[in-house]
Amino acid sequence: MELRSPTLTSAVRPVTPQQRAAKAAHTGGKPTLEFAGRVPYDVYTHASTLHQLQQPLSDDPGEMSFLMVTQIMELYFGLTRYELLQAQALIRADRVWDALAPLRRAGLHLEALNAAWRGLRWMTPADFNRFRDLLGEASGFQSAMYRQLEFLLGLRDPALIRPFRRHPEVYDELRDTLDAPSLWDDVVALLARHGFDVPAEVLDRDVSVEHETHPRIEAAWVAIYADNEPDNHLRLLGEALTEVADQFGEWRWQHVKAVQRTMGAKVGSGGSAGLAWLQRSMARVVFPELWSARTSM
C-alpha cells in the first residue's frame, strides 16, 4: 500500500505485528501513555481540528446539535461520493465483481447518514426559530458536496452550480462532474458492452442533461433479473445499485420530514419554497430503469 503523506507517515510511525506483540509483552498489555511528539491518533485523525470546527452563532444549546449533525452529513456525502467514484472506475474497466464492494460500502455509509437525522428529531419549530434567523441565507441547498453526490448519481440540473460561480475551484469541480458521465451512464454503457440493445441516442447523449427512462434499458434489466444463476454479476450489480438508490432516496425523504417537522411550509432559508420544493424534487429518481423495470419482472 502506497504511503501518501511524508509528514503524516513521519509522525505516525508504522509498526509490524511483531513489534506490536513485543511492545505488549514489555508493558504487560498496558497501553502506551508517553509519546515523543503529538499523540499519533490526533496526528492521523486530526480530531483536535475537527472539534474546533463547530462555531455556533448563538448560545442556544440546540444549535450545536444542528451544526454538528450538518457537518457529519457533509462528511458522509464526501465518503459516499468517494466510494461511488471507486465503483464507477471499476465499472468502466468491466470489473463488475470488484465494483460490488464499494457499492455495498456506499449503501452502508448512506444508512449511517440517514441515522444522523435522529440527532435532530427533538427539534420543534420553536427550537429551530431560536437561532434560525442568525443563519441568514445559509442553506443545505448550497452544499457543494451534496451536489457532487447528486450529479454522480445522475440527478443533473446545471442551474444548481450557479451559487458557486464566485468560488472558481468549487464551481469548476462541479462543472467537470456535470460534463462527465454519471455512474448510471457508465452502467448503461456497461450493459451495451455486454450485448444488450442500448440505442445510440442513449449512449451518445449529452451527459450534462439528466437521463430519461428508456424502454430498452428497462428490458435489459428485466432480462438480467430473469437469470438466477449465481455467477450473474450484473444482477448482483443491480441489487447493489438498488440499495444505494434506496438509501439515498430515504435520506431525501427524511430531509422532507425534518423540514416539515421544524418549519412546516415556511419559505426556505436559501430562498426556495422550502417543503414544496423538496417534495417536488422527490419525483426525480436515481437509477430510474432499475425501478421501472420491476413492473415487468
Q: Annotated binding site for substrate, which residues?
A: 132
What's the CA gap between 144 and 140, in Å, rounded? 9
Q: Please give, one letter per residue, the 3-state secondary structure of 145-201.
A: HHHHHHHHHCCCCHHHHHHHCCCHHHHHHHHHHHHCCCHHHHHHHHHHHCCCCCCHH
Closest CA to 214 of 234, 181, 192, 241: 192
Contact assessment for residue 8 and residue 40, using Cβ atoms and an 8 Å cutoff: no
Q: Specify whether the backbone of 28 is left (phi greater than 0), alpha (psi in -120 to 50) or beta.
A: left
**Residue with cell string 445510440:** 200
Binding-site residues from annotation for heme: 255
Contact assessment for residue 183 and residue 88, using Cβ atoms and an 8 Å cutoff: yes
Binding-site residues from annotation: 132, 255
The values of phi and psi at residue 38, to 5°, are -65, 155
- For residue 93, how many C-alpha atoms fall within 13 Å in the half-sphere facing its CB? 10
Burial tier of 51 (Cβ tally within 10 Å: 0-12, 13-18, 19+): exposed
CA 55 to chain centre: 24
